[in-house]
Amino acid sequence: MTTAAHDAYGATTHDVDDDTPVLNAVGGDWDDLVDEAAALHEERIVVNMGPQHPSTHGVLRLILELDGETVTEARAGIGYLHTGIEKNMEFRTWVQGVTFCTRMDYVTPLFNEASYCLSVEKLLGITDQIPERAQAIRVLMMELNRIASHLICLGTGGMEMGATTVMTIGFRERERILRIFEAVSGLRMNNAYIRPGGVAADLPAGTIDQIRENLPLIRKGIGELEALLNENPILKGRTVDVGYLDLTGCMALGITGPMLRAAGLPHDLRKAEPYCGYEKYDFDVPTWDTCDAYGRLRVRIDEMYQSLRIVEQVVQELDENPGPVMVADKKIAWPAQLAVGSDGQGNSLDHIREIMGESMESLIHHFKLVTEGFRVPPGQAYAAVESPKGELGCHAVSDGGTRPYRVHFREPSFNNLQAVAALSEGGSVADVIVAVASIDPVIGGVDR
């Protein structure tokens, strides 16, 4: 027995012998199909934002599922900049590891170096033997680096929203800081300046004066950014209540840094667990209470002013207290006598004279220290610093040799990127750009 029936789309269904369906598909009204799909919320568009997109802080791939202009699902795809830094460090000496880890978050190289060197010094048991001048120089360089990093965040964030003047001001002020880095370490980025036991070399002559000349100019530049951003109605329209993540969400996702402080919690490792002598300096931990992209912007601006306060105190300390910049133990202190010569590079002439013409023992020791490196007692240690993005920690493991057995970094950009979905879903496509910019991820640190 055969029966026939018409469905909602005009198709005719024939049932042969009541158990064999036969469907004859005929034309239907496309508008009716679209309306029904829309009513059932079945239409979805999946968009790849990146990995080459300039608005994603490097090679970050965002997979967005859209319902019209609304983001219904957001996922971060990482790994396009993987460099194997942590694995490569296992095949280099402890000192050479600095040259690798400084390249992780290439916007904040000095913080990468500091966390690694602090963990190595814990393993060596020399944390309390680091000269005060070396600690002060570390603080000086890190705080200048913090300002430079925040300027990158605000500058690129402004550019992504169409405010190119914000970018030009941010990069102009950052350039002043990079010139100081170049004068001190010879490099603008990836400095490899902080070493286990201290720093590679003392500040060259004239550096203190150079910093003092630039501090008022940097302060003025930050003031220009404030005038452009803080009460700008266009910027507030793009950032207020965008990328919302409250304190509960931050705690659940392990978020640290300006994102956490913009949710109202004044957590800062420089205060909570001081390192490198931060307890000596007078500064505040800025917070905000809006939990959004605008609050994170305001926190970063306030933090730059606090970093200037710290730098001014450190400059005064360095001016009044000369001294060594490397631990006294010659079995660890390499390069122990590095100093900038008249040609702008090289070891001190006295050291070269000793190892090349006066002491065979010194030459042998220098050769072994450079080629083989020093030995680190077996064990493991974790040391963390407050980077511009949040808690940057290094877990170093030694098997008693001259190379790390294992090094792993707790990189804040990697942890903070977990918030992409929470910040983006429910907002518009344009808000995704603002939300990611407010995280301030650097993909070199994420993939490392």
pLDDT one-digit tens code per residue, 253-300: 999 999 999 998 999 999 999 999 999 999 999 999 998 999 999 999
Q: Is 13 domain-assigned?
A: yes
pLDDT at 17 over 80: no
What pLDDT score does 9 carry? 44
* Confidence class for position 112, pLDDT limits 50, 70, 90: very high
Please check whether residues 29 and 105 belong to one and the same domain.
no
Q: In what order do the strands lie in the sheet with 61-67?
A: 45-49, 61-67, 70-77
Please check whether residues 131 and 13 belong to one and the same domain.
no
Structure tokens at 356: 């090349």
Please check whether residues 100 and 165 belong to one and the same domain.
yes
Q: Please give, one letter per residue, the 3-state secondary structure of the chain.
A: CEEEEECCCCCEEEEECCCEEEEECCCCCHHHHHHHHHHCCCCCEEEEECCCCHHHCCCCEEEEEEECCEEEEEEEECCCCCCCHHHHHHHCCCCCHHHHHCCCCCCCHHHHHHHHHHHHHHHHCCHHHCCHHHHHHHHHHHHHHHHHHHHHHHHHHHHHCCCHHHHHHHHHHHHHHHHHHHHHHCCCCCCCCEECCEECCCCCCCHHHHHHHHHHHHHHHHHHHHHHHCCCHHHHHHHCCCCCCCHHHHHHHCCCCHHHHCCCCCCCHHHHCCCCCHHHCCCCCCCCCCCCHHHHHHHHHHHHHHHHHHHHHHHHHHHHCCCCCECCCCCCCCCCCECCCCCCCCECHHHHHHHHHHCHHHHHHHHHHHHCCCCCCCEEEEEEEEECCEEEEEEEEECCCCCCCEEEEECHHHHHHHHHHHHHCCCEHHHHHHHHHHHCCCHHHHHC
Question: Are 168 and 159 contacting, i.e. CB atoms less than 8 angstroms apart?
Answer: no
The CATH number given to whatever domain includes residue 436 is 1.10.645.10
CB burial class (10 A; 0-12, 13-18, 19+) of residue 267? middle
pLDDT at 54 over 80: no
* Confidence class for position 36, pLDDT limits 50, 70, 90: low
What pLDDT score does 41 carry? 61
Q: Is 297 domain-assigned?
A: yes
Please check whether residues 253 and 180 belong to one and the same domain.
yes
What pLDDT score does 358 carry? 75
pLDDT at 10 over 50: no
Q: Is 405 domain-assigned?
A: yes
Please check whether residues 328 and 419 belong to one and the same domain.
yes
Please check whether residues 16 and 123 belong to one and the same domain.
no
What pLDDT score does 106 carry? 87
* Confidence class for position 52, pLDDT limits 50, 70, 90: low
- Within 10 Å of residue 393's Cβ, how many Cβ atoms? 21
Average pLDDT over residues 90-115: 91
Q: Is 66 domain-assigned?
A: no
What pLDDT score does 340 carry? 59
Distances (CA, A) of 196 to 11, 127, 163, 325, 366: 77, 10, 42, 11, 16
Average pLDDT over residues 88-110: 91
Please check whether residues 193 and 253 belong to one and the same domain.
yes
Please check whether residues 323 and 188 belong to one and the same domain.
yes
Q: Which domain holds residue 262?
A: 82-334+373-447
Q: Is 58 domain-assigned?
A: no
Average pLDDT over residues 67-86: 86
Please check whether residues 306 and 186 belong to one and the same domain.
yes
pLDDT at 323 over 80: yes
Average pLDDT over residues 203-209: 89
Average pLDDT over residues 186-208: 88
Please check whether residues 283 and 213 belong to one and the same domain.
yes
Residues 440, 442, 447, 448: is their CA dihedral positive or negative?
A: negative
Query: How far apart, in whole angstroms, are the C-alpha atoms of residue 373 and residue 229?
Result: 50
Query: How far apart, in whole angstroms, are the C-alpha atoms of residue 279 and residue 427?
Result: 42
Greater confidence (157 vs 123) lies with 123
Please check whether residues 116 and 25 belong to one and the same domain.
no
pLDDT digits (tens, 9 = 90+) for 216-233: 999 999 999 999 988 888
What pLDDT score does 11 carry? 46
Q: In what order do the strands lie in the sheet with 379-387?
A: 379-387, 390-398, 406-410
Domain count of the fold of the chain: 2
% of the chain at pLDDT higher than 90:
42
pLDDT at 357 over 90: no
Please check whether residues 34 and 89 belong to one and the same domain.
no
What pLDDT score does 2 carry? 47
What pLDDT score does 213 carry? 93
Of 17-26, 257-266, 417-426, which range is least confident?
Answer: 17-26
What pLDDT score does 256 carry? 92
Place of tokens 């808000």: 431
Q: Is 218 domain-assigned?
A: yes
Structure tokens at 423: 């910040």
Q: Is 357 domain-assigned?
A: no
Q: Is 219 domain-assigned?
A: yes
